Amino acid sequence: MANSTTALDVKVPGLDKLFIGGKWVDPATDAEFDVISPSTEEVVAKVSDPSTKDADKAVAAARNAFDAGPWPKMSIDERVAICSRLCDEMERRLDDMNRAWAWESGAPLTHGEMINSGAGVMVWRYALQIAPKIKFEERRQTPTGEVLIQRQPTGPVLAILTYNGPVVLMGMKVIPALLAGCPVIIKPAPESQLTTRIVADCVEAAGFPPGVVSVLAAGQEVSQYLVSHPGVDMVALTGGTAIAADVLHRIADRIGRAALELGGKSAAIITDDVDLDEVLATLVPGSAGFCGQVCVALSRILVSRERYDEVVQAVASAYAAIKIGDPFDRTTVLGPLAVKRAMLRAEHYVALAKEEGATVVTGGRRPPQFDRGYYFEPTLLSGVKNTMAVAQQEIFGPVICAIPYENIDDAVNIANDSTFGLAASVYCRNEAQALDIASRVRSGSVAINLAGVCLTEPFGGVKQSGYGRECGPEGILEFTETKQILLSGSYLDS
């Protein structure tokens, strides 16, 4: 087995190893996983593939770190110091991680720099900054006496990450869990083998106590085994709704805890008073960025019938002008989709939408200049009814629906007529009206005259977009249990 990726111009450690309990170890089996470049469809590396025996070792290490190790007993300042060393190491290796991510997921270097070097650093640095200010313990005077309230770490956490953001999710999920005092088994997507091996190397350099962190980029069988493992106290998942339902079934018998950040079918409501050029500046990247492989992507564009044709043509022209190409070309805006199944899924939904009566205004195909790779053009569909499958189901690809509305009440009803509720945008010049619309949209976050979400404040979904919150102090406290210690004044004395 190859033990480096020199040919890829990025150094990735431990290709023939696994990172369990804070150190590189030999795998329990000789199983291998092929890392496939989505740009060329070629195998660019072979890595060790974890087995259930490796999963058992990771859980045992995390369990011992929690039950007998120093990590949960450390002060918050001590945990911040070690996590800061991890963040220092990751920041030192950002260029390598961005290149590795481009090889394994097709993310353009410029996208990696925005999401990882920009947002990722901001998120984990903010978590480190606010953690010492959180009240993990406080005394309260009650009508009957005094109570001590403690926020104690939940226990070993299985953090399941997706291929569309393995580095930024370190700041949104893993660092908060560690700061709360929980050992973490990081379970990246199997498509994130290169990036997360660099992350594991950073963990080793940071010097965590034994057992606190493991990294297993496992496939479905081992992932489900980890979720079902009785030694795991909490599952923190970023993923799809069907996967979340499977997780909940697997942890039900042990009444396991879960925090679920799931998919969306986010609506962008555009009112008639907007300047369209201003809207396009954020609507285009907010809907088609990273080929739509973003949970908060604005995949439904809602516009009045009066401006419908104008908006459709403007968005279509903007999509058609996006440069698709080699992720290592710094002028590339969109690379390929990360996995073949995503390309096939996009093709399926475009075909289904056409059968149901929608029209492809632009895109809808693999770009003709590429005969290899999982490339797919940004696609805008018009004539879409909100009842169509393409408007109701998350595609996780660059397929966007333009849906007309009759009035603002109708727009809000369409936005809310979804099983999802993760994000939304309202484009409206009238501030009072914009805030009113935003308050009526049933979603975990709404942006006004912008796309995206704030990643330093609590973020998460409602309905089938999940529950629990990431980021901000709430994102750290998500990994704690509230404990009451009665000091005086029992109800039995009243």
Contact by Cβ (8 Å): 342, 252: no
Q: What is the dihedral of CA 354, 356, 358, 359, to 10 degrees?
A: 30
Report how far residue 481's alpha carbon sits from residue 461's, in angstroms, rounded to the nearest whole number: 21
DSSP 285-353: HHHHGGGG-STT---EEEEETTTHHHHHHHHHHHHHTS-B--TTSTT-SB---SSHHHHHHHHHHHHHH
- Is the CB of residue 452 less than 8 Å from the CB of residue 296? yes
> Residue 197: which residues within 8 A CB-CB, separation 6 or more?
12, 13, 14, 15, 19, 47, 215, 217
Based on the residue annotation, tell me whether 261 is a catalytic residue of this protein.
yes
* Rg of the chain in Å (alpha carbons): 23
Angle at 217 between CA 109 and CA 50, to 5 degrees: 145
91 an active-site residue? no
Q: Which of 441, 439, 318, 427 is nearest to 377 (CA)?
A: 318
Cβ within 8 Å of residue 272, ≥6 positions away: 304, 306, 307
Contact, 34 vs 22, CB < 8 A?
Answer: no
Residue of 89, 191, 261, 394 marked catalytic: 261
Could you tell me the two tokens for 33?
Answer: 């996983």
Strand partners, 160: 187, 237
Residue 374 contacts residue 320 (beta carbons within 8 Å) = no
Q: 464: closest CA among 173, 244, 258, 164?
A: 244
d(CA 352, CA 432): 39
Residues paired with residue 257 on neighbouring β-strands, in sequence order:
234
CA torsion, ordered 190, 194, 197, 199, to nearest 10 deg: -100
342 with 397: CB under 8 angstroms? yes
C-beta neighbour count of 37 within 10 angstroms:
21
Which one of 202, 295, 428, 471 is the catalytic residue? Answer: 295
What amino acid is encoded at 306 in this protein? E
Active site residues: 261, 295
